[in-house]
Amino acid sequence: MDFSDTPQEAEYRARARDFLDAHKDKLPSLSGSEAARLKKQRIWQAIKADNGYACITWDSEWGGAGGTAMERVIFREEEAGRGVPDAFFGIGLGLCVPTIIKYASDKQKAELVRPAVRGDQIWCQLFSEPAAGSDLAGVRAKAVADGDEWVVSGQKVWTSGAHYSDWGLVITRTDPSKPKHKGLTMFFVAMDSPGIEIRPIHQMSGGVEFNEVFFNDVRIPDAQRLGEIDAGWGVAIYALMNERVQGGKERGIPAGETIRLARSTPVADGTLADDGAFRAAFADWYVRTRGVQLTRYRTLTAMSRGQTPGPEASIGKLVTAFELQEMSRRLVEAQGPFGLIDDRAMAFCEGNVHHDLLHAPGIRIAGGTDEILRNIIAERVLGLPKEPQPDKNVPFSETK
């Protein structure tokens, strides 16, 4: 039980620090327009790729450095500590490209993997649909074979980065007469293909992180099929399993800053930090968010011992999304009526807590709702029985 770096880890960290210090002027930040940020991130990604920091745990064959999960986390910790955002390439390198490596042809891999690792090409994931959210297999976008091409029509939704992506992984329904999980097929598609229309989704928090993507008779070569026809569900599961264990910081303001904020918030009798209700709530919030962080270190330890992280990794978002929602409300409300003011220039923490309060509902939904995550823990970790699923063996075309 050792929480500190091992000598090897310490050495890796020192090297990473040197590397980052040496490239101080190239480090991207959160400021600027999306286009400007993207440009800087691409340059930085290429530098990382050239130095073995882009896909640290991947084989060198794919542009990786053959490193450990712990090394990846160490690098990310150091990067994050210097304000480098974790943006643009996560879905591609975490989910899409590993799927390409597993399912695409050698020629395709040779063409696609390295540009993605270097940030020259960006990938997005086109799985969700209006009627296929938690129940991902409810996909309705259909692909119909036409010679050695497929014609895809339908609507995808919640696609991050569709508007700046070069490639997308798209799941389609190829046989509606089979039960829902059994008539799906996966493709990759060039995002500039004719017939693809991308519309941004305006979120309640004001941001525009996601898109709707419409497929209007989009033609995809059969060569871009991943896996067998009607076997797309397994490909999707493989893709989603590859979502990496994240390093770096939790969302929301850090503990020390939370207390300092409470110290500066007057209440009738002293400051918010003197209020037993706040102190107790803080303590509970602290052990939960800290517990998630520490649990991630346990997972990393398991990974560094060669184990694959299991469904228990689901607890992170389940806990932190809700805690973020409630703690940000608590902090905002403690300001009294003044807390209503949602203006970066006036609100505390540059309005970040207000933003968290309006953003947290989305975190509780995206990437698996609270309910889906609890199901995963209950069924896959605890082995509790599944619920009856009336549409399981019914032809998709006959389901609601």
Partner 1 sequence: MNFDFSEDQEMLRKEVRKFLEARCPLTRARKVLDDSEASFDVELWEELVGQGWTALSIPEQFGGLGMSRTDLCVLAEELGRVLAPVPFASTVYILAEALMIAGDGVQKDKLAEIAAGDCIGCIAISEGPGEPSFERIGSRVERGRLTGTKQPVTDGLAATDALVWARDESGTPRLFLVPLEQDGVTREKLDTLDPSRDAARIVFDGAAAEPIGAPWLLDRLLDGAAVLLAFEQVGGADRAMEQAVAYAKERYAFGRPVGSYQAIKHTLADAYVNNQIARSNAYYGIWALDSGSDDLAQAAAAARVAACHAYWFAAREALHAHGGIGFTWEADQHLFYRRALQLDMVIGSPRMWRERLFEQVEAQGEKMKAEAS
Instruction: Give me the active site residues, please.
Output: 243
Write out the H or E segment, with its range, that includes residue 167. strand 167-173
Three-state SS at 166: coil
Question: Helices 352-363 and 315-333, interaxial angle, to 10°?
Answer: 140
Give the span between the Cα atoms of 68 and 267, in whole angstroms. Answer: 49
Of 92-100, 107-115, 221-229, 311-319: span binding partner 1 (CB under 8 A): 311-319
- What the block records as the tokens of 20 is 């980052």
- What the block records as the tokens of 205 is 């928090």
Contact code string over 5-44 relative to partner 1, x by CB under 8 A: xx--x-----------------------------------
Can you point out the beta strands (E) in 65-104? Answer: none
The residue count of the chain comes to: 400
State which of positions 271-310 bind its own copies (CB under 8 A): 275-281
Examine residue 390 and tell whether it contacts its own copies (CB under 8 A). yes
Examine residue 400 and tell whether it contacts partner 1 (CB under 8 A). yes
State which of positions 147-166 bind partner 1 (CB under 8 A): 157-158
Query: Given the complex with partner 1, which of 6 and 193 has the nearer CB atom?
Result: 6
State which of positions 44-103 bind partner 1 (CB under 8 A): 70
Give the span between the Cα atoms of 60 and 55, in whole angstroms. Answer: 9
Q: Using CB under 8 A, which of 61, 111, 135, 350 touches partner 1?
A: 135
**Minimum gap (Å) between residue 274 Cβ and its own copies:** 8
Examine residue 204 and tell whether it contacts partner 1 (CB under 8 A). yes
Query: Given the complex with partner 1, which of 73 and 151 has the nearer CB atom?
Result: 73
Q: Using CB under 8 A, which of 46, 80, 286, 309 touches partner 1?
A: 286
**Minimum gap (Å) between residue 391 Cβ and its own copies:** 11
Burial 121-155 (b: 16+ CB within 10 A, else e): bbbbbbbbbeebbeebbbbebbbeeeeebbbbbbb
Give the span between the Cα atoms of 342 and 140, in whole angstroms. Answer: 40
**Minimum gap (Å) between residue 155 Cβ and partner 1:** 13
- What the block records as the tokens of 363 is 């975190």
- Contact residues: its own copies, CB under 8 A: 275-281, 387-388, 390
